[in-house]
Amino acid sequence: MGAPSLKDLTSRGLVYAPGVWDGLTARLADQAGFSALCASGFAVSAALGLPDAELYTMSENLQAVRTIHAASKLPLVADIDTGYGNAVNAARTATAFVDAGVQGMFMEDQVSPKSCPICVGDPVDLITEEEATGKIRAVRDSIPDEVLLVARTDARGDEALHRATAYVDAGADMIMPVTKTFTTVDEWARCHDEVGVPLMATLTASTWTEREFTPEVLDQIGVRLALLPTQILMSVTGAAQETLRRLVSGEAPAEVSADAMPHHEFVDLIGFGEVEAMQRKYLPTERTR
């Protein structure tokens, strides 16, 4: 039997999925022992040197997902933003991402191009509920039943509850409130009670959900999939900034490298041993020297 699917995993209990954006971060998360991965739109955009404002194209996001899937066979949930257009565009997007190997995806109800709600001060603009439910139906009809469809809402309060219920009726398997959708644990619990399906939460770095959503709280409010979308990105970025600061200040490269991962450990981590074994197995002897 193969590994359990993302739907199977979340049906058994809480699953944490760290945000990755390329083959190296996927490999690191896999080796760390996680059971699922998230292709973080915030991180994919940042890797292109761009803010999370839907500046990249569907094809660029899709290529990142293909790279992640090639590096790790862990169940992968992908951020497909707004679906990159209307309901017909969203259906094509969803089909392409399933073909790329994802086992789950989340789509939001913002107007395109979207904006990351924790990066802007004002409430973001939303499409109508009717348009949003049409996009969810189109995606649900275009992907296999075993693929997890998560509907994200950037609405707030009672409007968010009303939209979430409509999104479940349209075919969503889970609802994803964002960090600004609700302001208390009790509101999250009410959402779970009203929609009748599990929730997905983003424990984004430096947000209230990251601080307050312990495993016990997540269980209490019905969250089965908890994303860690920016923790790796912030850690890697901070380490890279510090390394570059030390190098540009004139510190000896050998001193800087002494505080980093040793070269031989990185070589092992990235899989040179496996490649060399294949070379010995398949290549002529003179080609492996």
Asked if residue 288 has pLDDT above 60, the reply is no
pLDDT digits (tens, 9 = 90+) for 89-118: 999 999 999 999 999 999 999 999 988 877
What's the pLDDT score for residue 116? Answer: 81
What's the token pair of residue 220? 């209490």
Domains, the chain, with CATH or none: 6-236 (3.20.20.60), 259-287 (no CATH)
User: Over the stretch 132-162, which tens digit does the pLDDT of each residue have?
Assistant: 999 999 999 999 999 999 999 999 999 999 9
Specify the pTM: 0.94
Question: What's the pLDDT band for 248 if we cut at 50, 70, 90?
Answer: very high
The string of DSSP codes covering 201-252 is EE--TTSHHHHH--HHHHHHTTEEEEEE-SHHHHHHHHHHHHHHHHHHTT--
Query: Residue 134: how many CA atoms within 13 Å on its side-chain side?
Result: 10
